[in-house]
Amino acid sequence: MAAIASTAKTFRVAVVGVGLVGGEFIKQLLAFPAPSPFRLVSLSSSKSTLFQPDGLSVSATSWKDELAGSGRKPDLQALLRELSALVKPGQEVVLVDNTSSNDVAALYPQFLKFGVNVITPNKKAFSSELALYEQILAASLESGARFLNEATVGAGLPIISTLKDLVATGDKITKIEGVFSGTMSYIFNEFSTGKEGGPSFSSVVSVAREKGYTEPHPADDLNGADVARKLTIVSRFIPSLRSALPNGYQSVSTKSLVPAELEGINSGDEFIKRLPEFDAHFDRMRADAAAEGKVLRFAGVVDVQAGIIKADLEKYSVTHPFSTALGGSDNIIMFHTERYGARPLVVQGAGAGAAVTAMGVLSDLLKLV
């Protein structure tokens, strides 16, 4: 057994971003059963950083204080140099980016090029311009370091891994459709039930904000950009669509639910105050759907055969899974493929929350072992 232990791989893990998801990830990582192959070598917040090549001596209760007490400022280029120096046979190095930062995302090609694996729930790198995505693929191919981003779509749900497996085993994807946003899921599950009437749109959005389901500025959810980013990420794993969105999520046909008159409002509080002015508009859409025996759902569609990638407010029958199977902030994704022709493969469950998102990140880390 001693010989096996001495030849087992170890993984030096550097965590950037220690907010809700980052903090939960650290908690889950530090609770990993012994003997753990993981050594936490670095923690970085927006204000300070810790680095110890042989592993930080921190616990679930001490790491916040130790990080806050560090006199060292975060420096991504310095971290790149330090992690690159740790890469050697039998010792893997992993950058876990729990931020939503464009700056960190832009450095993925460099980390990968030097042999540092990248794991992240950060959607920016995979949903922006095609050029950055191509650089990530090329750097990964060159060094053999892997990038894993399960938690960029559906938090901890196995959406990316399911799609990768379908493609890798030779299945042909014909269409993917789903409710990709936990925020939009909650809003329309509450607002549109297939019955006449119901709560006003503005009141549902206001409650969603109070519960922490929306961004501080609800327009950041209602503009559909989050769904467009997820559709971009999904479509790039489908070989025939990899280059279909040169400008990333901005190339996706996206329906914004932000009234034109409110587009310039920078304050979330002001936006919520003005939103009731447009309740009659949303009431009419709900009534029209109910009259047809349908509900409103903000859905994402990747139609491979038609070459259509869109995020839009769609009407679905009251018997459709998007009407009957969803609760709270659930996500539901349907994979229509040649093998799953008669009945689609469905992945459904909690699509938001720090604990499940961190689980998605940790599950990616385990894929390296």
With respect to residue 231, please indicate whether it lies within any of the assigned structural domains: yes
| Res 281 pLDDT > 80 | yes
Q: How confident is the model at residue 7 (pLDDT cuts 50, 70, 90)?
A: low
Q: What is the pLDDT of residues 334-366, one digit of tens each?
A: 999 999 988 999 999 998 889 999 999 999 999
Residue with tokens 């329906």: 255
Residues at the binding site for NADPH are: 99, 123
Which residues are annotated binding-site positions for L-homoserine? 215
Bind-site residues: 17-22, 99, 123, 215
In 3D space, the residue among 161, 300, 310, 299 whose CA is nearest the CA of residue 244 turns out to be: 310
* Residue 132 pLDDT > 90: yes
The CATH number of whichever domain residue 198 belongs to comes to 3.30.360.10
Whether 166 and 306 share a structural domain: yes
Query: The domain containing residue 109 runs over which residues?
Result: 10-155+356-367
**C-alpha neighbours within 13 Å on the C-beta side of residue 181:** 30
pTM to 2 decimal places: 0.94
Give backbone dihedrals phi and psi of 51, rounded to 5 degrees, phi first: -145, 130
**pLDDT tens digits for range 290-348:** 999 999 999 999 999 999 999 999 999 999 999 988 888 899 999 999 999 889 999 99
Q: pLDDT tens digits, residue range 207-219?
A: 999 988 888 899 9
Distance CA 123, CA 292 (A): 36
Catalytic residue among 124, 230, 294, 315: 230
345 and 360 fall within a common domain:
no
Report the percentage of the chain scoring pLDDT > 90: 91
Same domain, 107 and 18: yes
Same domain? 43 vs 87: yes
Q: Do both 81 and 177 map to the same domain?
A: no
Taking the C-alpha atoms of residue 69 and residue 49, their distance in angstroms, rounded to an integer, is: 9
Query: How many structural domains does the chain have?
Result: 2
CB atoms within 10 A of CB 85: 11
Pair (346, 360) in one structural domain:
no
Based on the fold, state whether residues 177 and 313 are members of the same structural domain. Answer: yes
Q: Is residue 230 flagged as an active site residue?
A: yes
- Tell me, yes or no, whether 4 lies in a domain: no
Distance CA 302, CA 175 (A): 6
Q: Which residues are annotated as a binding site for NADP(+)?
A: 17-22
- 360 with 346, same domain: the answer is no
Q: Does any domain span residue 5?
A: no
Taking 60 as the threshold, does the pLDDT of residue 1 lie above it?
no
Computed over every residue of the chain, the mean pLDDT equals 95
